[in-house]
A and B are shown apart, each in its own frame.
Chain A
């Protein structure tokens, strides 16, 4: 069971907006930066968001991140069928002295 809790699945129609929550605690999200990764079927994870809300070059501004207290949120607007993937949050946990990931959220674009 992951220390970071994500919903197993979310869905929305093309063109719509979706948010994916990631809930943690003071030992992880509450005191560290959060990152988000997209994993398309059969491929390696890809960095979408780092430092809670920053996008690497090449990531469209349809993807956004935010953090409040011990929770973080990934937002995706203007959904495309190509956005169908698994999404993971990640951060450092000071109690475990380890990187922790959420269990992942499967996005379906209906």
Chain B
């Protein structure tokens, strides 16, 4: 069974950094592109970043470009999101999601999410 499990969320001060992880099981991470999608409290979904199956190509939303970095460790079957210069508006539940065709057209599996709170 395909499963995605996020971790690494927590409370961080504005300007701080955090690294999120997404451990994949039931499939090989290199076979699919992956994305991070976030949801601020009481708000809708916002796509944040994506990485190709091979890891060579990355994409970012304008709101996080230059501050966030997506990567993957294929030996650990784990996806990461390094978040720097965090702001209050980055407060959200962060989901990792599997992109089976790699075209950023749809996400067929989602993790349960990890909450990031940016506050002093």
Q: A2-B44, A88-B44, A90-B45 are in contact. Are A98 and B59 (CB under 8 A)?
A: yes
Count the A-B residue pairs with Cβ separation under 8 angstroms: how many? 63
**Which residues of chain B come closer than 8 Å to A51, judged between CB atoms?**
105-106
> Do the beta carbons of A90 and B106 come within 8 Å of each other?
yes
> In which size bucket is the chain A interface?
20 to 34
**Which residues of chain B come closer than 8 Å to A47, judged between CB atoms?**
106-109
> Do the beta carbons of A46 and B110 come within 8 Å of each other?
yes
Number of interface residues of B (CB under 8 A): 23
A37 vs B37: C-alpha distance when bound (angstroms): 13
**Which residues of chain B come closer than 8 Å to A63, judged between CB atoms?**
none
B33 to chain A, nearest CB (A): 11
> Do the beta carbons of A101 and B45 come within 8 Å of each other?
yes
Closest B-chain residue to A44, C-beta based?
A: B110
Q: A44-B112, A99-B35 are in contact. Are A50 and B45 (CB under 8 A)?
A: no
> Do the beta carbons of A56 and B108 come within 8 Å of each other?
yes
Give residues of chain A (86-100) contacting chain B, Cβ–Cβ below 8 Å. 86, 88, 90-92, 96-100
| Interface residue ranges, A against B (CB under 8 Å) | 2, 32-33, 35, 37, 43-47, 50-51, 56, 86, 88, 90-92, 96-104
